[in-house]
Amino acid sequence: MNKKLLKNVCDAKKPLSLHCNAGMATVNKVGDLAGYGTVWYFEEGIANILSLNNVKKKYRVTYDSTASDCFEVHRADGTKHIFKPSKKGLLYSSVNNNIFLVTTIEDKINKYSIREYSNAKKARELQNIIGRPSNQDLINYVESNMIPNCPITKQDILRAEDIFGPNLESVKGKTTHTMQEHVQVNLDDLPKEIMEKHSDVTLAIDVMFINRIPFVITT
């Protein structure tokens, strides 16, 4: 029911007939919930509800009544999202308008299984340990069996690139500074007439910001 938690809200291909104690309602909107997928959107509802059966298809869900008496949804990056019981017994999780189950990078993580994400982390860690070679060089090392007992594959390296982005330290180490061509400046003497009339000149210079963009102003 909270539109601020959703993206791409649009009309559903087929409406949903929702039956409850208050009667029947027709739901004809859907939206995308980050890290979860497509959900029904009903602005007149009183709560944001997730199906445990659907959540467990995407995440590992655990419950231990003797330990914490709450449902723990395990994210692919090792963190957890907690659903605890209210005073009336309904399990809930407090959310704000910016996050729900995942952050931006987790949207990429959730494209993969827990095993695939774990192997991607191993690929990035291995890349850092052996001197941060380029992705292509690392793939060549792996496919040529140049790394004994290598626990990763080419696909793991490509997944690491997709999830974590380029290895910045590797890029920095291989980016060389190039010398720029020297700029030739030709200075011409001012005409004598100008020097005689404008021999005493006061130049004022300041920096003015417009929409945080600096401009050099001279008078």
Split at pLDDT 50, 70, 90, the class of 102 is very low
Of 157, 174, 191, which closes a domain?
174
Read off the amino acid at residue 136: Q
Residue 176 — pLDDT band, cuts 50, 70, 90? low
10 or 19: which carries more pLDDT confidence? 10
94 shares its domain with 120: no
pLDDT of residue 98: 45
Both 136 and 82 in a single domain? no
pLDDT tens string 115-126: 888 888 899 889
Same domain, 48 and 127: no
Residue 103 scores a pLDDT above 90: no
pTM above 0.75, yes or no: no
- 40 plus 85 within the same structural domain: yes
pLDDT at 192: 82
Question: What are 57-83's pLDDT values in tens digits?
Answer: 888 888 888 777 888 888 777 778 888
Of the ranges 19-33, 70-84, 127-141, 160-174, which one carries the lowest mean pLDDT score?
160-174
Q: Do 54 and 19 sit in the same domain of this protein?
A: yes
Q: Which domain holds residue 150?
A: 114-174
Q: State mean pLDDT over 122-135.
A: 87
One domain for residues 105 and 120: no
Domains: count for the chain: 2
Q: Are residues 105 and 12 in the same domain?
A: yes
Are 19 and 96 part of one and the same domain? yes
Q: What is the pLDDT of residues 32-60, one digit of tens each?
A: 888 788 899 988 877 888 888 888 888 88
**Once rounded to an integer, what is the mean pLDDT over residues 140-166?**
88
CA–CA separation, 21 and 40 (whole Å): 19
pLDDT at residue 97 greater than cutoff 60: no
Verify that 81 and 16 share a domain, yes or no: yes
Do 139 and 86 share a domain, yes or no? no
Q: How many CB atoms lie within 10 A of CB 160?
A: 24
Question: Does residue 1 contact residue 46 with C-beta atoms inside 8 Å?
Answer: yes
Q: Is residue 60 part of a domain?
A: yes
Which residue is it, tokens 């003497």?
Answer: 189
Range ranked top by mean pLDDT from 85-99, 118-132, 182-196? 118-132
Average pLDDT across the chain, whole number? 81
Q: Are residues 20 and 91 located together in one domain of the fold?
A: yes
The domain boundary residue, chosen from 174, 190, 211: 174
Task: Give start and end residues of each alpha helix (H) in the chain.
Answer: 52-58, 104-109, 114-129, 135-143, 154-164, 168-174, 192-197
- Say which residue, 214 or 23, is predicted with more confidence: 214
End-of-domain residue from the set 90, 109, 128: 109
- Does any domain span residue 169? yes
Q: What angle do CA 136, 137, 138 make, to 5 degrees?
A: 90
One domain, residues 40 and 88: yes
On the question of pLDDT at 15 being above 50, the answer is yes
In a domain, 216, yes or no: no
